[in-house]
Structure 1
Amino acid sequence: MIEVAMTRTAADDLPDPYRLRLPGPTAVPERVRAAMARPVLNHRGPEFRGQLATAERLLQPILGTENSVLLFGCSGTGMMEAALLNLLAPGERLLCIVHGQFGERFAAIGEALGAVVDRVEMEWGQGVDISAVAARLEAAHYRAITVIHNESSTGAVADLAALGTLLRDRPEILVVDSVSGLGAVPMRQDEWGVDVVVSASQKALMCPPGLGLVSLGAKARAVVARHTAMPRFYFDFRRALESASKAETPFTPPTAHVAALVEALEMIHAEGMEAALTRHQALSTALRAGGAAIGLPDFTRAPLRSSSVVVLSVPPGLLGGAIVRTMRERYGSVIAGARNRLADRVIRIGTMGFLAPGDILTDLQQLEEVLAGLGHPVEVGAGVAAAARSLHASAREAGKTVVRAAS
């Protein structure tokens, strides 16, 4: 008899239960995980071509576009870099709208690629000042403008319709990171005049990390077609667009991830896109209401607030890191703090993906007990009650009960 030595894995050290409540990656539904375990397909065969075409067809209404949707094996940051590689020629100017950590990341990528990067800084937690962007456009010419649709470090959502109107008749390309927004926050790429949208699989699209996507409008495709852009090979959008016309990818794609994505997209469409957006908004509104009731007010002050992540201010005398650590140690609930200038000042909890009201009520019940244990005066039950009232009001307004994504 052959004996197999049993070794411990990282999974053996997970708390039980383990609740992934980050602003991404998010919990993956069982049927999506099961889709990844199906037989591996020939990436040049008819079965995978059909799967790739289905993924594009189901993504287009979520993006609000008729454009081709290109898939790559990478993270959201990979797609941010890929977009700039394909749009910028060496030495061209890039204007980065910075209203949080990921706006800073876009600027850092541009600088690493050798672009001349200017930043228009906004106060973190506030929205994008369109007049400030317009003033910068009058002062200099840029090849592209970058903005984060849903800034998950602050909970602020950019007004893409206003930015699209500003840039529609100008030569600059509007590049939008909607990694943490797509599927939870409205996106109308064609209607709003967004030239490039990049996103990824691991947030509201309910899939594991590893799959990036990009949608290019006509203005962007004309710039991508230039031979003067940055050196590019794997991330060459020209190759990808040519392959997409044949329902293929230029290089070997992560086929199991595409199978998972199709499964998740079918769940979203079974729920209905508007219903999914309404659910995300109801859950995030309820969590904000519950947080305010226990002394964790909303950090976000932008006119448009995220439906995929709630950023709560930590009261004086407490540290965000202590709350995060205690939530994991006591309950196995993994929430986020901040690894930037907001460190220990905020906690962040995801409200995207495969979630229902019970998830939010559990978050608040646990937070109440953690805060009390850390010495913060809190009326136990106040947060849960406030969230329940908010959920009831949202359900009445929508005319139906807020439920989990279709299983």
Structure 2
Amino acid sequence: MTTSPSSPYPYRLRLPGPISIPERIRQATARPIINHRGPEMRVVLEEIQRLIQPLFGTKAPVLTFGASGTGVMEASLVNVLAPGEKVLALAHGQFGDRYAQIARELGAEVDVIESEWGWAPDPAVVAAKLETANYRALITVHNESSTGAVTDLAAIGRLLRDRDTLFLVDSVSGLAGMELRQDEWRVDIVVTGSQKALMCPPGLGFASVSEKARKVIERDDRCPRFYLDMRKALATVDKHETAFTCPVSLLFGIQESLRAIHEEGLPQVFARHKRLSDALRAGCVALGLPAFGDPASASQTVVVASVPEPLSAGPIVKHMYETYNTVIAGARNKLNGRVVRIGTMGQISEAEILTDLHYLELSLTALGHKVPAPGCGVAAAIASLR
């Protein structure tokens, strides 16, 4: 079993992705490899398609790529843009900034609406900006895992109802952990990755494509594309095939993950994520680590807690790992040192949350932070869970 150099405790991966893989899914990825073009693979891909569409909230095809979340973010843009076209980016964290940068690298003219980190984009500000130019695409992040803020996709989608502008959304850390209604909210492309609430190893990317987006994707005047060409993927998806060699083992894992999600039931999965994230957030607040950002847009899949001075996040993350073999995250951006981030996605339990808070309290105390009362974080979480 993996351990830190000095800790006797079992290894606990508590990042906001990649996450710890449930044993049934890990075992599924170890099945013998099968013919990636054979009838047995088509059965697997057909089941994945049928089970994953409800997570997107769509009846549109969901395309599969051997790629990370960033890879399918690029795929969403390279298939709808021509160099020089205008993109409106709603950025309220690290991954919104990344989405905008990908568009710039593809030659788009990018306008950015910057929201304060921790707060979701304001639909009224977006509405006003849309009146100033004709945008090929509006891009944003559903669940900004760097800040813990969730975008109101329904409100943004309503603004685009009568426009040619395509609505592109990164839900890498949101999908399967919170509700997403792509068709109802008029989102044209949603992208996600395998390593977060889908509970699989990194390496698979998915993109769902609306009919409105498909009409643009099929044009020949878009950016140059080959491996990430959605035209190739769309031509094979109804045959339950992939355009290029698929990561067979990862698809076995996704198949098993989707079965587990549907066995529990989507409403139950979403309610559990909210319940556990609320409890962890309450425990952090009780320990003297206030929730970062706007509570009205708080994530269900990651808890972002502010670190009070004179503490810094780095020593907390280090102590949690070296002493308790528990891996949580700080920030690799302008919030560096100011926040800690803990994932609340996948098949985690109440026990995981209470363990997080127990180790966090011990780490804070060891670093000189005086908590209000022994066990107060765990007690606050238990009260939230009742």
Whether TM exceeds 0.5 here: the answer is yes
Equivalent residue, structure 2, for 1:382:
376
Aligned counterparts of 2:292 and 2:230: Cα–Cα separation in 1: 38
1:209-234 CA-to-partner distances (Å, cap 9, x unmatched) read 00000001111111101100000001
Equivalent residue, structure 1, for 2:201:
208
1:83-108 CA-to-partner distances (Å, cap 9, x unmatched) read 10001011111111000110000011
Aligned residues: 383
Q: 1:359 to 1:13 in 2, by over 3 A?
A: closer
Tell me, which stretches of 5 or more residues in structure 1 are unaligned?
1-9, 393-407
> Is 1:250 aligned to residue 243 of structure 2?
yes
> Is 1:153 aligned to residue 146 of structure 2?
yes
Equivalent residue, structure 2, for 1:173:
166
Letter of the 2:351 partner, please give it.
Answer: G
Runs of 4 or more above 2 Å deviation: 10-16
Q: Write out aligned runs for 1:177-326 (5 A).
A: 177-301=170-294, 303-326=296-319
Mapped contact 1:202–1:209 kept (Cα < 8 A): yes
Range 128-137 or range 145-154, more displaced: 128-137
What's the TM-score, normalizing by structure 2? 0.98
> Is 1:141 aligned to residue 119 of structure 2?
no
Mapped contact 1:127–1:302 kept (Cα < 8 A): no
Tell me, which stretches of 5 or more residues in structure 2 are unaligned?
none
3-state SS of paired residue (2:111):
strand
> Is 1:40 aligned to residue 16 of structure 2?
no
1:160-182 CA-to-partner distances (Å, cap 9, x unmatched) read 00011111111000000000000
The one of 313, 316, 339 equivalent to 2:332 is 339
Aligned counterparts of 2:180 and 2:117: Cα–Cα separation in 1: 22
Equivalent residue, structure 1, for 2:342:
349
Mapped contact 1:327–1:367 kept (Cα < 8 A): yes
3-state SS of paired residue (2:353):
helix
1:139-159 CA-to-partner distances (Å, cap 9, x unmatched) read 111100001000001100000
Equivalent residue, structure 1, for 2:45:
52
TM-superposed CA distance for 1:12, in Å, is 7.5
TM-superposed CA distance for 1:302, in Å, is 5.0
Aligned counterparts of 2:250 and 2:162: Cα–Cα separation in 1: 38
Aligned counterparts of 1:191 and 1:302: Cα–Cα separation in 2: 25
TM-superposed CA distance for 1:328, in Å, is 0.2
Aligned counterparts of 2:306 and 2:39: Cα–Cα separation in 1: 51
Aligned counterparts of 1:380 and 1:315: Cα–Cα separation in 2: 18
Q: 1:302 to 1:111 in 2, by over 3 A?
A: farther
Aligned counterparts of 1:79 and 1:28: Cα–Cα separation in 2: 22
TM-superposed CA distance for 1:304, in Å, is 2.2
Equivalent residue, structure 2, for 1:107:
100
Mapped contact 2:68–2:202 kept (Cα < 8 A): yes
3-state SS of paired residue (1:221):
helix
Q: Percent identity?
A: 56
Mapped contact 1:156–1:301 kept (Cα < 8 A): yes
Q: 1:219 to 1:198 in 2, by over 3 A?
A: same
Mapped contact 1:307–1:351 kept (Cα < 8 A): yes
> Is 1:61 aligned to residue 54 of structure 2?
yes
Aligned counterparts of 1:36 and 1:287: Cα–Cα separation in 2: 30
Mapped contact 1:309–1:352 kept (Cα < 8 A): yes
Structure 1 vs Structure 2 CA RMSD: 1.2
